[in-house]
Amino acid sequence: MTLDLINERLDHLIPAKPDTLTQAARYALLGGGKRIRPLLVLAIVKHYGIDPEIALSPACSLEMIHAYSLIHDDLPCMDDDDFRRGIPTVHKKFNEAIAVLTGDYLLTFAFEVLSTCRNLTENQRINMITTLAQCAGSTGMIGGQSLDIEAENEEINLEALRTIHQKKTGCLFAAASIMGGIIANVDTEELIVLRRFGHHLGLAFQIFDDIKDVTNSLAKHGGNISSDVRNHKSTYVSLLGIEQAEKLAEKELLQASELLPLQDWFTFCKSVMFA
Closest approach, Cβ 209 to ligand GRG, in A, equals 4
Taking CB under 6 A as the criterion, the residue among 48, 77, 83, 85 binding ligand GRG is 85
Provide, rounded to whole angstroms, the least separation between the CB of residue 198 and ligand GRG: 13
Q: Which of 166, 169, 164, 137 lies closest to 149 in space, CA to CA?
A: 164
Nearest to 152 by CA among 46, 248, 229: 229
- Rounded to the nearest whole angstrom, what is the least distance from the CB of residue 188 to ligand GRG in the complex? 27
Q: How near is the Cβ of 51 to ligand GRG at its closest, in Å?
A: 25
Name which position in 168, 195, 199, 233 contacts ligand GRG (CB under 6 A).
168
Our finding on whether 91 is near ligand GRG (CB under 6 A) is no
CB atoms within 10 A of CB 4: 8
36 belongs to the binding site for ligand GRG (CB under 6 A)? yes
Nearer to ligand GRG, 164 or 262 (CB): 164
Among the listed residues 61, 202, 102, the one whose alpha carbon sits nearest the alpha carbon of residue 144: 202
127 makes contact with ligand GRG (CB under 6 A) = no
Range 205-224, binding ligand GRG (CB under 6 A): 206, 209
CB of 149 to ligand GRG, least distance (A): 9
**Cα–Cα distance for residue pair 29/35, rounded to 1 Å:** 10
252 binds ligand GRG (CB under 6 A): no
250 contact partners, CB below 8 Å, separation of at least 6? 204
Task: Compute the least distance from the CB of residue 22 to ligand GRG, in Å.
Answer: 20
User: Under the criterion CB under 6 A, does residue 145 sit at the interface with ligand GRG?
Assistant: yes
Q: Binding segment for ligand GRG among 50-58, 67-75, 124-132, 243-251 (CB under 6 A)?
A: 67-75
184 within 8 A of 48, measured Cβ to Cβ? yes
> Residue 50, interface with ligand GRG (CB under 6 A)?
no
Q: Would you count residue 11 as binding ligand GRG (CB under 6 A)?
A: no
Between 70 and 260, CB nearer to ligand GRG: 70
Smallest gap from Cβ 49 to ligand GRG, in A, equals 27
Residue 125, class by beta-carbon neighbours within 10 Å (0-12 exposed, 13-18 middle, 19+ buried)?
middle
Q: Kindly list the residues in this chain that would bind ligand GRG in the complex (CB under 6 A).
A: 33-34, 36, 69-70, 72-73, 78, 85, 141-142, 145, 168-169, 206, 209
